[in-house]
Amino acid sequence: MYMCAHCAVKACYKNEKDKMPPNCPMQDLSKYEGIKELYQDDENSRLFGESCKIEHDGYCQWNRVFETIEFIKRMGYQHIGIVFCVGLQREAAVFDRLLREHGLKTSSLICKNGGFDKNEFGVEDEYKLKGGGYEAACNPIAQAKLMEEEGTDFNVVMGLCVGHDSLFFKYTNTPFTVLVVKDRVLAHNPCAALYGAEGYFKNEGYFKTKFGLPPKTQQK
């Protein structure tokens, strides 16, 4: 079982292979056979190479929006798709404007495109936000298919719901990046919850009670 999230050695990062923990995947180099060759693919090589250059040139200086636009330009992409949540339409419009100001062609698709009621997807009324009546479902598969039809070179995802984004990723055949991860409670900054888990909320059972689970002290 791989446990990189808890590794205190990071032998891979420091090139200290003699210090690798027993469960490090690098203990068996056969696992990596053929992977380096995949980076020789023309598209893979350019994606990887330009991302390394972006990391170097803008390290701790460029924000994510600037990095994304710079990456798009360096890759030579001309037609950019913006796949966004209805709750981030204003942000999507600003990003669309910025792309156009850089001379790029854009296409944008809202998550509710297609106009399906959630009932048609098997969602019962009790799981609708308003409890019943027409409620438009997100349609990430259509977003993927329609962007492919548009012929976009590169897509940018902005705030698709957890799970809906998984469906977009599954069905898109176009390279993409994620510009915004939705977090309705934390102003689209999910890392704030992780920082809180190591801070004020660490021993308060906050993350358990928030999700309807009993605090640790009450569990059997």
How far is residue 92's CA from residue 101's CA, in Å, rounded to a whole number?
Answer: 14
Please check whether residue 5 lies inside any domain of the structure.
Answer: no
The predicted model scores a pTM of 0.90
- Containing domain of residue 160, as a range? 78-179
105 and 132 share a domain? yes
Residues 169 and 201 in one domain: no
pLDDT band of residue 134 (cuts 50, 70, 90) is very high
Same domain as 84, residue 158: yes
The verdict on 189 and 174 lying in the same domain is: no
Q: With respect to residue 8, please indicate whether it lies within any of the assigned structural domains.
A: no
Q: What's the confidence (pLDDT) of residue 219?
A: 43
**Strand-by-strand arrangement of the 105-110 sheet:** 105-110, 79-84, 154-158, 176-180
175 in a structural domain: yes
Same domain, 173 and 187: no
Q: How confident is the model at residue 199 (pLDDT cuts 50, 70, 90)?
A: confident
Sign of the C-alpha dihedral computed for residues 80, 155, 46 and 43 taken in this order: negative
More confident residue, 218 or 155: 155
User: Is 39 a member of any domain?
Assistant: no
- Residue 198 belongs to a domain: yes
Task: Establish if 214 belongs to a structural domain.
Answer: yes
100 and 187 together in one domain: no
Would you state the pLDDT for residue 213?
Answer: 53
Looking at the structure of the chain, the number of domains it has is: 2
Identify whether 131 is part of a domain: yes
Together in a domain, 161 and 108:
yes
- For residue 212, is pLDDT > 80? no
Whole-number Å distance between alpha carbons of 150 and 157: 16
Cα–Cα distance, 112 to 150 (Å, whole number): 17
Are residue 196 and residue 129 in the same domain, yes or no?
A: no
Identify the band that residue 131 occupies on the pLDDT scale cut at 50, 70 and 90. confident
94 and 157 in a common domain: yes
Helix (H, G, I), strand (E, B) or coil at 201: coil
